[in-house]
Structure 1
């Protein structure tokens, strides 16, 4: 069955991406590779939610078209949620110790205060002086949240294509792959 072949293609593609997301989210929890920031609550909520750990791990490996469609939709929703949370974490910037008007404080100094404020991502001159501790936390967050966002976005695209393939399998049945106009790859979109 064509849908099963596509399930294997998508499943095999999602496995390395899931590991990349889990690694990136795990590293986000350990700024400067130190657990004390996590234990003291000095990690952004987007990193603590762990969407890269749990949302990127949904794999689609069912044989029945209806089961594949359901699993694909769940995986699509999880990957899209991970992408959204990662984008939010990227835009808001890291939680760090910085010099505020009241002295040193744990805050998000690069977070836009109101709509229309410039985003720190486009002004790299702000990065080195923004945070006292953890060391290089701005670059740490930018790189890891970017990896999470890109990888989970790609996962969402694959899962959406897989859901479309499952819908076509339900509509056209087992003869879907025997159609002469069907691409010879046996995986419609992946």
Structure 2
């Protein structure tokens, strides 16, 4: 497959992941599917915007670059059209690294939140984090430590797990584009009019 065509395919695959990442992060502002009356009762990690910033907006720039590579009709440099295409492929690796870092940020935030558990109203009528080191992941009976919001444990666990999985796929796709971009830089785009150089 041509390096430009591969980049376009990767860019198209990233679009739904961006949308799902942003939606999952937005839903985290409604613990248990309900509007909360005090924002201080939300888990801290929700405010780090892992899905909105990391898997969302930081990923938009690589996607735009990846999608534009296939139709790149760069005039080239020093009279050599393939030089311009190679530079475009090299620049795509830089944007792929930016995307990887954004997805990595979302991954770290999600992993920390899953391990920490949600903030909720505990048995002593105070808001806090009743779980320690992911102990609730293997023992569902501990979930009863959270009284409000209802279903907040499963809600946060599901959404942060979705963000974690999205981040893994995004990092994988960006890694593929780094390799693809380096190949395009070294070998040129086989679909270009001048062929590989």
TM-score in terms of structure 1 length:
0.81
Cα contact 1:61–1:68 (8 A) shared by 2? no
Structure 1 stretches of 4+ with a deviation exceeding 3 A read 174-179
2:118 is paired with a residue of what secondary structure?
coil
Query: Which of 144, 149, 152 pairs up with 1:137?
Result: 152
Deviation for aligned residue 1:172: 2.0
The aligned counterpart of 1:122 is 138
2:126 is paired with a residue of what secondary structure?
strand
Structure 2 unaligned runs (5+)?
A: 70-87
TM-score in terms of structure 2 length:
0.79
Deviation for aligned residue 1:13: 0.4
The aligned counterpart of 2:21 is 21
Answering whether residue 120 of structure 2 is matched by residue 111 of structure 1, we say no
* Coordinate RMSD, CA, aligned: 2.1
Structure 1 unaligned runs (5+)?
A: 113-117, 180-190
Deviation for aligned residue 1:91: 0.7
The superposition leaves residues 119-160 of structure 1 with CA deviations (integer Å, 9 ceiling, x where unpaired) of 210111211x11111001111111111111011111110111
* Alpha-carbon distance change, 169 to 176 in structure 1, aligned in 2, over 3 angstroms: farther
CA–CA separation in structure 2 for the residues paired with 1:145 and 1:111 = 17
Cα contact 1:7–1:61 (8 A) shared by 2? no
The superposition leaves residues 47-83 of structure 1 with CA deviations (integer Å, 9 ceiling, x where unpaired) of 1111101211214332311220111000011011111
The aligned counterpart of 2:51 is 52
Cα contact 2:90–2:184 (8 A) shared by 1? no
Q: How many residues align?
A: 169
2:189 is paired with a residue of what secondary structure?
helix
